[in-house]
Structure 1
Amino acid sequence: MNDIVNKPVLDVEDIQEYLGIGRRQAYELVNSGQLHVVRIGRRIKISREVFLTWLNGQH
């Protein structure tokens, strides 16, 4: 498993692996508007801090 603690910016695959969810579910999450994501071309990047804040229920 990738250690997200050492990565300041995450990919959808990192979130998928960390949460133990499928690819479709991971993309649904990042496209849901619940997380601030940055799109660079076709790539989707998520700040580790944004992800962990969301995961801990802090807004």
Structure 2
Amino acid sequence: MLDNYEDILTVNDLADMLKIGKNTAYQLINTGQIKSVKLGRIHRIPRQNVIDYIIEKSR
């Protein structure tokens, strides 16, 4: 499932991947639940960080 996505994701990719809204995706990033890198005004999320978040939440 996650193999369909690039190694570096956008917020839109994250929202699509988790089947959540864009505002919820930003909330996960801004609260640090999913780690991201901010380049200027744009967030980039390593796919592995999303995998780590899913694993952590499934425990």
Q: Aligning the two structures, in what range does the TM-score lie when normalised by the shorter sequence?
A: 0.7 to 0.9
Find the aligned partners of 1:56 and 1:13 in 2 and give their Cα distance. Answer: 21
- The residue type paired with residue 55 of structure 1 is I
Separation in 1, partners of 2:47, 2:18:
13
**Does residue 30 of the first structure (1) align with residue 29 of the second (2)?**
yes
Aligned partner of 1:13 in structure 2 is 12
Segments of structure 1 that go 5 or more residues without pairing to the other structure are none
1:13-48: per-residue Cα shift (whole Å, max 9, x none)? Answer: 111001111111111111111122100011101111
**Alpha-carbon shift at residue 8 of structure 1 (Å):** 0.9
Contiguous gaps of at least 5 residues in structure 2 = none
Which amino acid in 1 is paired with 2:18?
L
- What RMSD over aligned residues (CA atoms) do the two structures have, in Å? 1.8
Identity of aligned residues (%): 31
Structure 2 counterpart of 1:56: 55
**Number of matched pairs:** 55
Q: TM-score, normalised by structure 1?
A: 0.80
Shift of 1:57: 1.3
Displaced runs of 4+ in structure 1, greater than 3 A?
A: none
